[in-house]
Structure 1
Amino acid sequence: MCGIYGQISKNPALNECGLSIRHRGPDDAGAKVFPVPGTGLSVTLVHRRLSIIDLSPAGHQPMSNEDGSVWITFNGEIYNFQELRTKLLTAGHKFASQTDTETIIHGYEEWGEEVIPRLHGMFALAIWDARKRRLLLARDRVGKKPVFYFVRDDKFLFGSEIKSLLASGEVPAKPNAEALHDYLTYLYFPSPSTAFDGIRKLPSATTLALEVTPDGRIAHHLKTYWDPVEAAGAARPLSHRDAVDKTRELIDEAVRVRLMSDVPLGVFLSGGLDSGTITAFTAKHSTLPVKTFSIGFRNSKLFDEIDQANLVARKFGTHHTILQVDARCAEHIGTVVRHFDEPFGNPTAILEYILTKHMREHVTVALSGDGGDEAFGGYVRYAGAWLAEKYRALPSFLTRGFFARFSHLLDDNTRGRHTNRRVREFLESAWMAEEEMYLRWVGYFSEEEKRELYTPEFRSQVGSRDSGDFLRSLFRRGAALEPLNRFGYVDLASFLTGNCLEYADRMSMANSLEVRCPFTDHHILEFGLSIPFEWKYRLGKTKKILREAMQRILPDSVLRKKKMGFNPPLPEWINRELKPMIGELLSPAAVARRGMFRPEAVERLLKEHYQGGRDNAIKIWGLLMLEVWHQMYIDRVPDASAQFLLAASGTKRAL
């Protein structure tokens, strides 16, 4: 895994941009500048290498073809590169290394832009074709590897992380008000928006082709090369028994190809069904004991799955390590924001950072269970959607009348389990259209709550924007799918790509660790969206088909276990250890200085939480991360990351 950066401009910037992403590739660095004759422009490619396959200098990037007319900077792993390499050798291509990178170069020579859909793996890449004066960027099907970019008429910059664009001095660090409005709904930034005005995120399964015109302008064109809805619709119907067998076979193969590595490899093991499945197949294909890693919580049993993780580890004879953490995790809040370059409201990111930091002491590559819920119907909201179909058959005087009024009596503050909140949200929204119901379930601040929160000045910057339009458009795109499978597609195109895979990449690469996710294999996702939802869910049991596929492989207690999620006990932390930090960063004076929110509205949110009326922990965390980001990236407070560490540990900050 690596970091990439590049630009088309009159003033190439190399050193600061490359150094800003050194953590993504500490093993090697390279850069090339290509003048574009007659335009005054140059194309720059920069690379930071984390060596995984072919550790020799032959893997140095940027890498070129034999005559130097095609160059690449590439971040990722291509699991079918040996198969492609064989085809290219047969076609007469000559190779100088054993890398997957060189396979992409020769594949581009042979097939042009059509090489991208042939790649099976995770990737972000840029190819400079000097003859055509054309720069091609591409991102993998599910967005495992990131690409950010900034474009103007005579200037284009791209990179694995936003910080490399800001380091160029060519891109202003100006907040994007509309994107921040969306952030408050989702607590991440839906593609293609980012927190910065003018900086965009290349969507998953997308190529961006740029051509330098004779008069020195930069023309660009986006193209989508994979549609999971279309692919799922083309799947061959199977019997239930065949579908169970195929589920097991696809996962087995997805794990096997992801064990390709010339460096030590391990597995995230939470104790749940998904990570247990990955551990089982990793052990099957490994000759040595697998190294597995879990995280537990001191002073809290919420979301702690250590007992189940130990059970799976014993079953497959792994070399298992448990890392115990507590609320002092929040000391890393500044570090997390510094590696995201944006506010990010999922507190799991801090756990991912701490665990991958520990794992990097033992392994360089790790497999995770991300993607299993989207493929096989694992989220509780899928059960809610199934139940809502039955609920809507009841008389409206019950659904919109009695039950809806009753829902307001439910107390939210459930010590982190969210049971009452989920019941309340279900009763309030189950009668709605599926996209509106889903938005109520996955959103945090509603449009009404946000506008109540905003100052008049910030409200005017946001205008009439409705953040829910993003999800509504995804439901329209998924219209051809079975109704309940649409939820899986929407999660794949939003939550998985924009949230789970974002923190998996950013937090692991902060520690120079490569994470591979077998469940995000496009063959598995296409298959998962094609099978009837009734095979995934039945009478309170999610991921039914995966549980059947893993019978007699995983322990019975893991197969019976309900999904818990990889989450910290956030309400407990906010009510105790983090309360002083929150009181300082979200005080009325601090909120007034920021100018986005009305101090009395934030104060009401905090009071409501601390008095037990509503579990607002995740909303408070989202606002906290937003303020930290503002101080670090917009205010440019010196040594802000260290200052937040002191605040989290209870020491007075000097800001």
Structure 2
Amino acid sequence: MCGVAGWISFDRDLTGERSTIETMTHTMRQRGPDDWGVWTGTHAALGHRRLSIIDLPGGTQPMSVDTPDGPVVLTYSGETYNFVELRDELRRRGHRFRTASDTEVVLRGYLEWGEAVAEHLVGMCAIGLWDGRDERLVLIRDRMGTKPLHYFPTRDGVVFGSEPKALLAHPLVEPVVDTDGIRRLLLGFPTTDEGVWSGIKIARPGTVITVDRTGLRERAYWRLTAAPHHDDRETTVRTVRAMVEDNVAHELVADVPRGVLLSGGLDSSVLTGLADRHLRARGEAVRTFSVDFPDQAENFTADTIRPSADGPYIADVVARLGTDHRHLVLDHRALSDPEVRREVVAAWDAPYGMGDMNSSLFLLFKALKEHVTVALSGEAGDEIFMGHFWHHAEAVYSGEDFPWFVAWPQLNTSSYMSREFVELVDLPAFRRDSYRSALTEVPHLDGEDTRRRKQREIAYLGLTRFMRTLEDRLDRLAMRAGVETRVPFCDHRLVEYLYNVPWSLHTFDGHEKSLLRAAARDLLPDSVAGRRKSGYPSTQDLRYVAELQRQVRDVLADPGTDALFVCDPVKVAAATALDPAAVDPAARLTFERILDVDAWLDLTKPTLKLS
């Protein structure tokens, strides 16, 4: 898990541009605190920041191979879980290896298969390969988009990097945010290939991008497809168990300490149980980590997003398995700390305004880093096993919008925006267009009835939009703390299989995620097996709300701030004067967004071009 950066220019000599690529690379020092390197050639400059996970002394990058026709150079972020099998195959084909790293397997795989190496890789990756034999750059992003990869086309080439901050450090890339960027920010996730920063593209998951003197081309090497599902329930359950168990075994491979994020939900508890079995057989206890808030279990109030508190279920899993557990309890001061907020915004390069859900996750990774470097996460389990409330809410079937917006209207913050800003961004139209565009991608089978087609749409939108934001959040916040997260559920083979399972099998026991529950029932305490889906925890401490109100009042009183462009200051001022108990969810989200925007403007100094 690392950070990659690069600059390709066919009209200039980059051998003297070492300082530029070094600057780009060092913006991502948190992604790779252990080592760094750059490589420069006539028309290519590549950079790498390394978080050492496999073959600690041997995986240094950029890694190159000299050929009679020119060098082939790799900068690579991620993990290839089938690298042992690929290395064996490449050895049979005559390749010789000088390291034990998966990095060299990817490089040798490219020498053998060219850009088709992408189809051979199982795992998560953002790859930049400069092929000096024909002066061509190859960019590869993994099938599920687990690792971020951004690029900026230039007049004579391209600039690329794991994160926008690397590109923004290049003199050709201006920090401009236009109206569409603000719309995507308010939407909460990027459109197909664009995010917040103007001109900076996001490589699509499952895509190979090639850049040479004739221009830039994009090729999809993987897309989700619809296919008949022939397995009966028993076979389906057995297949799910085998696939998840295999994923966990492969993703526990590391030369550094490993752990599991444990929330007490079904997904993380299953991973904990499987990791425990795998490690205990080798004489190791699984290390688990969780986050909570003071008195949360005692004073918890249920809602549609969080019907239960995590604490009691975490305790049941720890007691059942005997894990080596650490429980981080964060009070309102830690959650609202402006310096923590700045770290989160810097990690994401954008002010997404998720408040305490972001700060608590970042602080969990900071604490976790003291004990492990790799952490397994149950992220993507809900999108893959159809576990969200909105997967099954009847209102979603008649709605013409992204399912989470239909099911959770309390997330709409437009009532705290000014009339002028609402008219300028016209978010309903942008959201409607984005929704309709997304529907054109959905793979269906001929002959499916209206309800089954809608079920596929709900599933597809979750997998390609909702999950993309959560994956990006997990990666950015973990890497900001120098931690690699691995997501065993986010495996393209498992996704393909479950996308085509009939909806009735996803709910055959009367609960969501029936297949996962049945596949791993032997690993779970009864309480967890019967628990309904509960969202990532958020504090209900009114002192946190009061602190948000105080900080927003400070922003309102600052005559030099531009952070209020996303809101109506009069409405927000009125909300800051309320008793904290009277603050509605939309106002709280607005407070968190304003504070994030204020930090973002200070950190990145963007040029706002809103029209």
Q: Same fold per TM (> 0.5)?
A: yes
Which of residues 88, 97, 100 in structure 2 aligns to 1:98?
Answer: 100
In the alignment, which residue of structure 2 is the partner of 1:306? 311
- 1:14–1:46 contact (8 Å) kept in structure 2: yes
Given that 1:293 and 1:320 are in contact with CA atoms closer than 8 Å, whether structure 2 keeps it comes out as yes
The one of 319, 322, 335 equivalent to 2:343 is 335
Gaps of 5+ in 1: 36-41, 214-218, 389-425, 637-655
Q: Which amino acid aligns with 1:377?
A: M
Post-superposition shift, 1:516? Answer: 0.2
What pairs with 1:560-575 in structure 2 (closer than 5 Å)?
Answer: 560-569=530-539, 572=542, 574-575=544-545
* Aligned 8 A contact 1:129 1:135 in 2: yes
Tell me which residue corresponds to 2:8: 8
Distance in 1 separating the partners of 2:554 and 2:231: 58
Counterpart of 1:473, as a letter, is S
1:349 corresponds to: 358
Which residue number in structure 2 is paired with residue 242 of structure 1?
235
1:196 aligns with 2:163: no
2:382 aligned to 373, 387, 390, which one? 373
Deviates most, 249-258 or 341-350: 341-350
Spell out, residue by residue over 1:622-648, the C-alpha distance to the aligned partner (whole angstroms, 9 max, x if none). Answer: 333223212321279xxxxxxxxxxxx
Contact 1:147 1:202 in 2 (8 A): yes
Determine if the alignment matches structure 1 residue 266 to structure 2 residue 259: yes
For the pair 1:469 / 2:433, whether they are aligned, the reply is yes
Q: Does residue 61 of structure 1 match 2:61?
A: yes
Distance 2:598 2:579 in 1: 19
Structure 2 residue 20 is matched with structure 1 residue 22 = no
Closer, same or farther in 2 for the Cα pair 1:631/1:27, shift >3 Å?
Answer: closer
Q: State yes or no: 1:31 paired with 2:27.
A: no
Q: Is the 8 A contact 2:251 2:486 kept in 1?
A: yes
Q: Is the CA contact (8 Å cut-off) linking 2:310 and 2:537 kept in structure 1?
A: no
Question: Residues 609 and 615 of structure 1 are in contact (CA less than 8 Å); yes or no, is this contact kept in structure 2?
Answer: no
1:526-565 alignment runs, 5 A limit: 526-537=496-507, 541-565=511-535
Distance 2:474 2:408 in 1: 20
How far did 1:194 drift? Answer: 2.3
The CA deviation at 1:587 is 5.6
> Are residues 137 and 544 of structure 1, via their aligned partners in 2, closer, same or farther at CA, if it must alter by over 3 Å?
same
Q: Which amino acid aligns with 2:294?
A: R
**In the alignment, what sits opposite 1:413?**
none
TM superposition shift of 1:54: 0.9
CA change 1:161–1:635 in 2 (3 A) is closer
Cα shift readout 1:338-367 (whole Å, capped 9, x = no counterpart): 111111233322121101111111111110
Describe the superposition over 1:115-172 as per-residue Cα deviations: whole angstroms up to 9, x where unpaired.
1021100000100011211101111111111111211212521111111122223311
Give the superposition deviation at 1:3: 0.9
8 Å contact kept, 2:48–2:62: yes
What is the DSSP-based 3-state SS (H/G/I as helix, E as strand, rest coil) of the residue aligned with 1:83? helix
For residue 283 of structure 1, report the CA deviation from its aligned partner. Answer: 0.8
3-state SS in 2 of match to 1:234: coil
Contact between 1:5 and 1:164, CA under 8 Å: does it hold in 2? yes
Change (3 A) 1:606 1:104: same
Cα distance per residue 1:300-346 (max 9 Å; x no partner):
33464122112112222211111110122221111111111111233
Q: Partner letter of residue 55 of structure 1?
A: L
- Distance in 1, matches of 2:558 and 2:25, equals 40
CA separation of 1:336 and 1:192: change in aligned 2, threshold 3 A:
same
Note if 1:120 corresponds to 2:122: yes
Which residue of the partner structure matches residue 181 of structure 1? Answer: 183
- Determine helix, strand or coil for the equivalent of 1:69: strand
Moved more, 593-602 or 469-478: 593-602
1:584 deviates by 2.1
Q: CA shift at 1:526, angstroms?
A: 1.2
CA contact (8 A) 2:542 2:581 kept: no
Give me the whole-angstrom Cα distance separating, in 2, the residues matched to 1:255 and 1:436. Answer: 31
Residue in structure 2 matched with residue 486 of structure 1 by the alignment: 457
Judge conservation of contact 2:332–2:541 (CA < 8 Å) in 1: no
CA 1:225–1:430: 2 relative to 1, 3 Å: closer
Aligned AA for 2:245? D
Residue type of the partner of 2:464? A
1:253-302 deviation line (CA, Å, top 9, x unaligned): 11011011111110001111100000011011112001111111014334
Q: Is the 8 A contact 2:336 2:544 kept in 1?
A: no
Do the aligned partners of 2:549 and 2:576 also contact (CA within 8 Å) in 1? no
In 1, Cα distance between equivalents of 2:427 and 2:336: 34
Identify the match of residue 330 of structure 2 among 325, 333, 354: 325
Distance change >3 Å, CA 582–CA 533, structure 1 → 2: same
Q: 3-state DSSP class of the match of 1:285?
A: helix
Q: CA deviation at 1:446?
A: 6.0
Distance 1:359 1:82, change over 3 A: same
CA contact (8 A) 1:4 1:73 kept: yes
TM-score by length of 1: 0.82
1:79–1:257 CA contact under 8 A, matched in 2: yes
SS of residue matched to 1:61 = coil
> 3-state SS of the aligned residue for 1:293?
strand
Of 219, 223, 231 in structure 2, the residue corresponding to residue 223 of structure 1 is 219
> Bigger CA drift: 467-476 or 116-125?
467-476
CA 1:536 to 1:355, structure 2 compared with 1: closer, same or farther past 3 Å? Answer: same
1:501 to 471, 480, 485: 471
User: 1:438 and 1:96 mapped to 2: Cα distance?
Assistant: 49
What SS is found at the alignment partner of 1:253?
A: helix
Please list every run of 5 or more consecutive structure 2 residues that lacks an aligned counterpart in the other structure: 301-307, 446-451
Q: What is the number of residues matched between the two proteins? A: 574
1:32-47 map, 5 Å: 32-35=39-42, 42-47=43-48
In 1, Cα distance between the equivalents of 2:320 and 2:443? 42
* TM superposition score normalised by structure 2: 0.87
Structure 1 residues 454, 342: CA separation in 2 closer, same or farther (over 3 Å shift)?
farther
> Does the alignment pair 1:360 with 2:356?
no
Q: Which residue does the alignment assign to 2:276? A: 283
Partner SS, residue 366 of structure 2: helix
Matched residue type, 2:431: S
SS of residue in 1 equivalent to 2:547:
coil
Shift of the 534–236 alpha-carbon distance from structure 1 to 2, 3 Å rule, reads closer
Q: Distance in 1 between matches of 2:90 and 2:548?
A: 57
Q: Distance between the aligned counterparts of 1:540 and 1:438, measured in 2?
A: 21
Cα deviations by residue, 1:159-196 (Å, 9 ceiling, x for unpaired)? 1111112222331111232121222132x434422222
Which residue is equivalent to 2:487?
517
One-letter amino acid of the structure 1 residue matched with residue 154 of structure 2: R
Cα distance change on mapping 1:86 and 1:443 into 2, 3 Å? farther
Bigger Cα displacement from structure 2, 139-148 vs 150-159: 150-159
> What does residue 87 of structure 1 align with?
89
Q: Percent identity?
A: 31
Q: Which residue of 1 aligns with 2:448?
A: none
The yes-or-no answer on 1:441 pairing with 2:441 is no
Using the TM superposition, give the Cα deviation of residue 479 of structure 1 relative to its aligned residue in structure 2, in angstroms.
Answer: 4.8
How many angstroms apart in 1 are the aligned matches of 2:203 and 2:293?
36
The 3 A distance-change label for structure 1 pair 439 and 595 is closer
Change (3 A) 1:324 1:592: closer
Q: 1:586/1:284 Cα in 2 relative to 1: closer, same or farther (>3 Å)?
A: farther
